[in-house]
A and B are shown apart, each in its own frame.
Chain A
């Protein structure tokens, strides 16, 4: 079985500060890992994904994440927060084979303070 733990249900940063959202996963098989963002009253938008290859992946809006197998982590970072980054962020995992569903964490709400 797979699971995702997102540390911190709410993170607050100042505009221009580093954003760090934490995600740890559990998987008995090699995983695919994802970060999705959800703005109020909207669906999920894919930010970035790790499937194979380079463990540091870059996504949209200046976000990036690093897959660390030894730490079973996939933390999301952005060097400088912008007001428009305020949203709910979800980390998700799935098996790297077959047509398996996504397993999501509970989400982290990011607030950006001016």
Chain B
């Protein structure tokens, strides 16, 4: 158990809809990173939040957006869903400084039909 919790565990949406995924970070961690893991692939970095500000972004379009709250929990929002957005979305929390080890939640499985 990492102490990182994600909700919901599974989600089914249709193309064009919007979705919000949630993540509660491990106690004491101030940084949250989001990754997309397509079937049969390794996780790909979407973005990272530190002290409620986006602090790095991977190669994802602007329809992927996020928030971090004062308690360091986070949301990932995806607008105008496309079929290729079907994936496992992983949240990782860490404490900035030192080795900044990332600990992952169990993920949210998103299916876009």
Measured between beta carbons, the chain B residues less than 8 angstroms from A36 are: 104
B80-96 at interface with A (beta carbon < 8 Å): 90, 92, 96
Interface size class of B (residues with CB under 8 A): 20 to 34
Cα separation A104 to B92 with both chains bound (whole Å): 14
B46-77 to A contact mask, C-beta < 8 Å, 1/0: 00101000011010000000000000000000
CB distance from A29 to the nearest CB of B (A): 15
Question: Number of contacting residues on A, CB 8 A?
Answer: 23
Q: Contact at B43–A90, with CB atoms within 8 Å?
A: yes
A46-89 at interface with B (beta carbon < 8 Å): 46, 49, 51
Q: Contact at B104–A43, with CB atoms within 8 Å?
A: yes
Residue of B6, B42, B55 near A99 (CB, 8 A) is B55
Sample of 4 further A-B pairs with CB below 8 A, known A42-B107, A43-B107, A45-B2: A43-B105, A46-B104, A99-B96, A104-B44
**Can you report 17 residue pairs joining A to B where beta carbons are below 8 Å apart?**
A43-B2, A43-B90, A44-B43, A44-B104, A45-B2, A46-B103, A49-B101, A90-B42, A99-B56, A99-B96, A101-B56, A102-B35, A102-B92, A104-B35, A104-B43, A106-B40, A107-B42
- Nearest 4 pairs of A and B residues by beta carbon: A104-B42, A101-B45, A44-B104, A43-B106
- Give chain B's interface residues, CB within 8 Å of chain A: 2, 4, 6, 31, 33, 35, 40-45, 48, 50, 55-56, 58, 90, 92, 96, 99-107, 109
